[in-house]
A and B are shown apart, each in its own frame.
Chain A
Amino acid sequence: DTGVSQNPRHKITKRGQNVTFRCDPISEHNRLYWYRQTLGQGPEFLTYFQNEAQLEKSRLLSDRFSAERPKGSFSTLEIQRTEQGDSAMYLCASSLKGQRYEQYFGPGTRLTVT
Chain B
Amino acid sequence: AQSVTQPDIHITVSEGASLELRCNYSYGATPYLFWYVQSPGQGLQLLLKYFSGDTLVQGIKGFEAEFKRSQSSFNLRKPSVHWSDAAEYFCAVGPADNAGKSTFGDGTTLTVKP
Interface residues of A (CB under 8 A from B): 4, 6, 31, 33, 40-45, 48, 50, 55-56, 91, 93, 95, 100-108, 110
Contacts and interface: CB of A to CB of B under 8 A. Distances in A.
A110 B106 contact: no
Nearest to B94: A101
Nearest to B104: A42
B104 A44 contact: yes
Q: Which 7 A-B pairs have the closest CB atoms?
A: A42-B104, A101-B100, A105-B43, A105-B44, A107-B43, A45-B101, A101-B95
Interface of B: 4, 32, 36, 41-46, 49, 51, 90, 92, 94-95, 99-107
Contacts of A48: 99-101
Q: Per DSSP, are chain A's interface residues mostly helix, strand or loop, or mixed? A: strand
A40 B10 CA distance: 11
Contacts of A102: 46, 49
A4 B45 CA distance: 12
